[in-house]
Amino acid sequence: MRITTNMIRRNYQNNLSSTLGGLELSRRQVETGRRVAYAYEDPSSAYKGAVLERRYARNADYTDSTKNGKKWLSSQEGVLDSLNDDAVNIVENFSVSAMSDPSGDVGREAYAKQLREIQKNMVFALNTQYGDAYVMAGNDGMNPPFVLSEDGKTLTYRGVDVDVAENPKAIYSYDIKTDTGSYRDSDVITVTGAAPASKTYDLYVRDDGTGDITTAEANDPQQLAKAIAKKMDGKESEEYTITAEGNKIIYTAKNGGAIGDTIGDGTKNPPAAAPGGFTITSAHDDGNGNLTPNTNVQTMTGSQVEVQQGVTGTEEYKELYKFSQEKAYIDLGFGMKFDTEGNVIPSSAFDTALPGINVVGFGIDDDGLSNNMISLVGQMAEILEQDEFDSDAYGTLWMKLKSQTNELQNESTTIGAKYNLLETTEDRLSEEKLHIEEQYKDTVGIEEADAITNFVYAQYVYNVALKIGTNIINPSLLDFMNS
Amino acid sequence: MLRATFSGFNMSMLALMASQRALDVTGQNLSNVNTAGYTRQRLDLSSISPAGHSIANSPYDAKVGQGVRMDGVSQIRDPFLDNQYRNQLAKMGTADATTSILQEIRNVFDETDKEAVRVQLSDIVSQLDNLAHTESAGTSSADALVRSACEVLLNTIHQNASDMEDVRGDLLEKLETSVIPDIDGLLRDIKELNQSIKNTQVLGNPALELQDQRNELIDELATYLPIEVSYKELNLGAGIKVDTLQVAVPVTVNGQKKKLSLIDDTDIGSIDVKRNGDGSIQEPVQLFLKEATDTSAGSTVDTGVDITEGFDNGVLRGDIDMLNKSEVFDGTDIRGIGYYESSFDMWVNEFAKKMNELNVDADGNKHDLFTTSDGSDKFTASNIKVSDEWMKGEVKITLSTEENAGSTAYDNVLRMMKYLQSDRIEYTASGDSARAIYTSELKITPGDTTGLNSIDVQVGTDMYSIDIKNDGSGDLTSKEATDPEKVAAAIAKKLNDNTNQDYTITAEGTTLVFTAKSTGEVGQKGPAAAPVSYSITQNYIPAPPVNSLVIISNPSVDEKAKGEDSVFVGTMFECYDNIQTTLGIEEKAYKAIYQNHETVLNQIADSKDSVSSVSVDEEVMNLMRFSQSYNAASRVMTTMDEILDKLINGTGVVGR
């Protein structure tokens, strides 16, 4: 190929400018610390960089949330501690024996006053705020959750009296009827439960004591009912407790609420359906294992259904129950997910809610006592204020308060565990942050040593190119011609 | 033959003159070593042969040439390389135009090293996260923080929208004020040069420098659109011939390949775009070419050929494609400015629509967070705004969708966060790119096909027959006709081959599917009408057997779907990142294409230079060569002088 002056010059210029371009690029990389400044330089790294930047931002959010969550839990824990101190104080210093002090009325009145003060204190503690929100208010953080009436008798949580009975429980009763004849020794009484389980329960009538029931008992409907209830309870239904009352078999729902109704998170449902009852048959054992059906005894099921009505506060109890189940999830990067109904799946986020009624209790127990500590304290004070000291009643309340104190301590433990989870999460997040930073640097950043070496090399190449330029461009044959 | 006594002087004089003129040419070459487009020249020499034969021819004499003759000055140029060079220029023009526009779009959407939409969207998530804490859920400041984060994002969105409008506007302006006038100017200049060259050549001057100028202008023209250059020799009589220039533009119009004449000697055509009443360029851009041979009086746009989609390469191609096309959004295959605008609008629409949708209270009442400034129900990057109600505080982020929710229940905020962060969303290009699809189910009961001669499909008054022949010469064999799916496929093929230019007709199982060939709604941009109905009959000879094949056609066709094209599936963030990634990949690809073309162009330029460009070394050598030959010719003359001196003054003086 014929090489011409302009060809050399043009190619030299092209090469020089691309060398300068390389110098510029490596200069920019060293100066900015970034390998990629525009997506076109490396689209996939730029995209990865974007993803990492986003993860970094989320990591910062999660870290903030975790730190904040710890403070939030600390406030809750503070409340629990204060409540616990009060409760322990009462349990230790306000026992029946202390009240039975011979110093009499004046002493009790002083105690009563103290109890009233403690009661108020406990309410103050429960209405503690963090930032603008009440920490024990569940999902209603803007309003003080607990209000104690002037006389100290009524405590409301978000407007609902805490001393409401649970929902009525469904109770079904079945009569055991013995029409004619009587059971004999070696009879087998077979009780068949309702579908779908259709389980059978055999009661052996043995007078030698090896069976479930003696002949005399079998022929007494009340005793028979008792034996059948004993056989069936805990096996026939998970939703009902089965007991005997007179000659009746009583199915009592374990949970309150109307049949088929749903309250709360699904685990505390009232029974989904009424119990289906049962049938009773019997047979005689001839001693060799051959059974002959009895015809002289007819024991049938009753079909009368009786639903016992609730005492008070059906709706209120539901309301309190709903409050007690409230959650306040924060996103800590556990991959927050929702179920089909649009509720957060508990394992995918962190629950910061601690509704106050879960701590101090609500509702009335089977003995008619309040489950609420503050109400109990009020009631104790009330007894002390009366002229006649009812030490039995006081003792019962005191025992109840003591057992509720244990519940309170359980809540403290739960909070501690949650706090620990936050601590580990925080550690994990700070570790993840380091990982992200490292990955980000690998993806869009430079390796300093490489970048500087590249830069120096690019500079060297450029200098060489310039040097070559001065050497090639000028000389031509012209420079060697003698004129 | 007797030699004329002074003939040697003449030969020397020719040699001196030739050397002198050769030095002049060398000087011209050296002077123009840096002149753009200059082609090296050469003095064409030939030796003068001994003239004729003489009556005094003698075997004892030898004939010697009479010296050197200057034939003329010529250029050294390879037309083949010129063509290659120009083709390559056009290709590079496309890549160059596209790359430079993509660079401008990059300034809008590339957030690799800047904080804009992506960071601001992320900030909205952070602010929502802040709202999703019991201690701040009920406070109005937390809501205001989310709102201001949204305002910041919207500002950037508006900025991006107006930047994209600028990109489009700048390009239109470039087309209007630079490209079109430039082409026009080139055509005029070339026309002038054609005239001058012809005039000069008539006078016997080769007009080499003018040709260099013309070649430069043609090269420049070639960057705008593909051209084919040819020369035609025109005999002016009296032995005078001149070259005339023809420039044609190869195009494909209505499926036919044509060469439109742009320059024909001193006639030139013109290129222009369709304009609005106020003289601005009408969008989408339509490009017209009025041929040089078209002598009608109409304007370029009125009488010219629409070549908008007709040519492959050049700056015009790149510019027009970037202006007119938006890939999946209009069913083309090029991601022009519109693609990025539409992608962004689509993203903004999804964001605003969904946030509004999520902001619903327990009673199902919607409280719009965003509205459009122009009342449209479709959000775009330019019309999105924070709703007045939200600005005034009448509307807030709905914290909970639960009935009787507490003051700090915030389940809805969590849903918004999840939507922004991790919900996978299918983004679809709606409207124009939708494709009408109609289906028509055939109810075919397979049966005995003995005697089945044909299945006749009637469309309007036209009848198409599916011939049943067992020797394979028909459309189906009678055995195949017992298979409903094969029957349906044959019917679909028959209809597809014979009817309806607007639809592609295929069979899916026993259902005929009419898919519009073009996108857009029926009667608007897409097909002019829904596909016509048809009826089917079976023709048996002599009579149908018992249990014969039964085809019950559904003569009406049902619209199945508007056929929205899925553009992208992913999260909000991924979708936005996708704009940047797509842009990055496009720019990288076009840069690579540009570099390839550039490399090839440089190689061709090297070849061109190798032939045509001045080499200083060579010219300096020529200087020496011709100065030597000049010296030699002088010596010849001196020698002649000496011998004549001897002859005249030194001869016959013996004994003097």
Positive or negative torsion for Cα A67, A69, B141, B396: positive
Nearest chain B alpha carbon to A44: B581
The mean per-residue pLDDT over the stretch B327-351 comes to 88
Distance from CA of A211 to the nearest CA of B (A): 57
As a whole number of angstroms, the distance between CA B348 and CA B6 comes to: 97
Q: Which residues of A touch B417 (CB under 8 A)?
A: 331, 336
CB–CB contact B106 A38 (8 Å): yes
Neighbours of B276 (CB within 10 A): 9
Q: Which residues of B touch A41 (CB under 8 A)?
A: 584, 588
The mean per-residue pLDDT over the stretch B350-356 comes to 92
The mean per-residue pLDDT over the stretch A34-59 comes to 91
As a whole number of angstroms, the distance between CA A2 and CA B619 comes to: 13
Neighbours of B644 (CB within 10 A): 16
pLDDT of residue B501: 74
As a whole number of angstroms, the distance between CA B646 and CA B632 comes to: 21
Q: How many residues belong to chain A? A: 483
Mean per-residue pLDDT over chain B, rounded: 87
As a whole number of angstroms, the distance between CA B179 and CA B168 comes to: 15
CB within 8 A of B503, min separation 6: which ones?
A: B438, B514, B515, B516, B517, B527, B531
pLDDT of residue A51: 92
pLDDT digits (tens, 9 = 90+) for A433-451: 999 999 999 998 888 899 9
Is residue A139 less than 8 Å (CB to CB) from chain B?
Answer: yes
Q: CB–CB of B336/B324 below 8 Å?
A: yes
Distance from CA of B582 to the nearest CA of A (A): 8
**What percent of chain B lies above the pLDDT cut of 70?**
93
pLDDT at A311 over 70: no
Q: Which residues of B touch A133 (CB under 8 A)?
A: 134-138, 408
Which residues does residue B257 pair with via DSSP β-bridges, in sequence order?
A: B252
CB–CB contact B136 A132 (8 Å): yes
Distance from CA of A378 to the nearest CA of B (A): 28
pLDDT digits (tens, 9 = 90+) for B254-273: 888 999 999 998 999 999 99
pLDDT at B315 over 90: yes
Burial of B476 (0-12, 13-18, 19+ CB in 10 A): buried
pLDDT of residue B564: 58
pLDDT of residue A209: 79
pLDDT digits (tens, 9 = 90+) for B618-655: 999 999 999 999 999 999 999 989 998 988 888 887 77
DSSP string, B104-135: HHHHHH--TTS-SHHHHHHHHHHHHHHHSSHH
The mean per-residue pLDDT over the stretch A329-358 comes to 88
* pLDDT bracket for residue A325 (50, 70, 90): confident
Q: Which residues of A touch B123 (CB under 8 A)?
A: 57
| Least confident residue range of A378-382, B146-150, B513-517, B613-617 | B513-517
Nearest chain A alpha carbon to B608: A7
The mean per-residue pLDDT over the stretch A209-234 comes to 83
Q: CB–CB of B534/B459 below 8 Å?
A: yes
The mean per-residue pLDDT over the stretch A350-354 comes to 92
- Buried/exposed B103-142: b ≥16 CB within 10 Å, e otherwise: bbbbebbbbbeeebbbbbbbbbbbbbbbbbbbbbbbbeeb
What Å distances lie between residue A460 and A21, A450, A451, B123, CA to CA? 13, 15, 14, 45
pLDDT digits (tens, 9 = 90+) for B226-237: 999 999 988 888
* pLDDT bracket for residue B32 (50, 70, 90): very high
CB–CB contact B415 A338 (8 Å): yes
The mean per-residue pLDDT over the stretch B115-139 comes to 91
Mutate to test the interface with A, among B100, B128, B133, B575 (most CBs of A within 10 A): B133
Instruction: Please state whether beta strands B370-372 and B452-459 pair in parallel, antiparallel, or not at all (unpaired).
Output: unpaired
As a whole number of angstroms, the distance between CA B591 and CA B628 comes to: 52
Q: Which residues of A touch B137 (CB under 8 A)?
A: 133, 141
- Nearest CB to A336: which of B138, B405, B418? B418
pLDDT at A59 over 80: yes
Q: Which residues of B touch A477 (CB under 8 A)?
A: 616-617, 620-621
As a whole number of angstroms, the distance between CA B651 and CA B585 comes to: 93
pLDDT of residue A310: 35
Position with higher pLDDT, B339 vs B545: B339
pLDDT of residue B530: 74
DSSP string, A142-156: TS--EEE-TTS--EE
As a whole number of angstroms, the distance between CA A210 and CA A475 comes to: 127
* pLDDT bracket for residue B521 (50, 70, 90): low
pLDDT of residue A306: 45
Interface size between A and B, measured as CB pairs under 8 A: 206
CB–CB contact B137 A141 (8 Å): yes
Distance from CA of B163 to the nearest CA of A (A): 18
Maximum distance among all Cα pairs of chain A, rounded to whole angstroms: 154
Q: CB–CB of A183/A282 below 8 Å?
A: yes
Q: Which residues of A touch B611 (CB under 8 A)?
A: 2
| Interface confidence: ipTM more than 0.85 | no
pLDDT of residue B166: 95
Q: How many residues belong to chain B? A: 656
Is residue A57 less than 8 Å (CB to CB) from chain B?
Answer: yes
CB–CB contact B602 A68 (8 Å): no
What Å distances lie between residue B629 and B13, B219, B539, B633, B641, CA to CA? 12, 39, 99, 6, 18
Q: What are phi and psi of B168, to 5 degrees?
A: -65, -45
pLDDT of residue A304: 42
pLDDT digits (tens, 9 = 90+) for B362-408: 888 889 999 999 988 889 999 999 999 999 988 999 998 888 888 88
The mean per-residue pLDDT over the stretch A88-103 comes to 79
Long-range contacts of A443-448 (CB under 8 A, 24+ apart): A443/A45, A443/A48, A443/A49, A443/A52, A444/A34, A444/A35, A444/A36, A444/A45, A444/A46, A444/A48, A444/A49, A444/B112, A445/A33, A445/A34, A445/A35, A446/A29, A446/A30, A446/A33, A446/A34, A446/A35, A448/A30
Is residue A6 less than 8 Å (CB to CB) from chain B?
Answer: yes
pLDDT of residue A478: 67
Q: Which residue has the tokens 């007078």?
A: A207
pLDDT of residue A307: 43
pLDDT of residue A262: 57
Q: Which residues of B touch A28 (CB under 8 A)?
A: none
Distance from CA of B181 to the nearest CA of A (A): 30
Alpha helical stretches, state H, B548-571: none
Neighbours of A319 (CB within 10 A): 18
pLDDT at B220 over 80: yes
Instruction: Please state whether beta strands A155-157 and A146-148 pair in parallel, antiparallel, or not at all (unpaired).
Output: antiparallel
The mean per-residue pLDDT over the stretch B127-150 comes to 91
Nearest chain B alpha carbon to A47: B581
* pLDDT bracket for residue A169 (50, 70, 90): low
pLDDT at A111 over 60: yes
pLDDT digits (tens, 9 = 90+) for B426-465: 887 755 556 677 777 787 777 777 778 888 888 777 888 8
pLDDT at B92 over 60: yes
Q: Which of A166-170, A296-300, B644-648 has the highest mean pLDDT?
A: B644-648
* pLDDT bracket for residue A419 (50, 70, 90): very high
Position with higher pLDDT, A299 vs B188: B188
CB–CB contact A140 B408 (8 Å): yes
Q: Which residues of A touch B587 (CB under 8 A)?
A: 38-40
Positive or negative torsion for Cα B219, B221, B224, B230: negative
- Nearest CB to A39: which of B417, B580, B610? B580
Mutate to test the interface with B, among A6, A340, A351 (most CBs of B within 10 A): A6
pLDDT of residue A308: 45
For residue B164, what are its two tokens?
Answer: 């994209």
Distance from CA of B12 to the nearest CA of A (A): 25
Which residues does residue A201 pair with via DSSP β-bridges, in sequence order?
A: A191
Q: Which residues of B touch A329 (CB under 8 A)?
A: 132, 411, 414
Distance from CA of B118 to the nearest CA of A (A): 8
pLDDT digits (tens, 9 = 90+) for B49-68: 876 666 666 677 777 888 89
pLDDT at A82 over 90: yes
pLDDT at B340 over 80: yes
DSSP string, B281-292: BPSS--EEEE-T
Mutate to test the interface with B, among A1, A32, A38 (most CBs of B within 10 A): A38
CB–CB contact B616 A329 (8 Å): no
Mean per-residue pLDDT over chain A, rounded: 83
**What percent of chain A lies above the pLDDT cut of 90?**
33
The mean per-residue pLDDT over the stretch B494-513 comes to 80
Distance from CA of B126 to the nearest CA of A (A): 6
Nearest chain A alpha carbon to B610: A2
Neighbours of A479 (CB within 10 A): 8
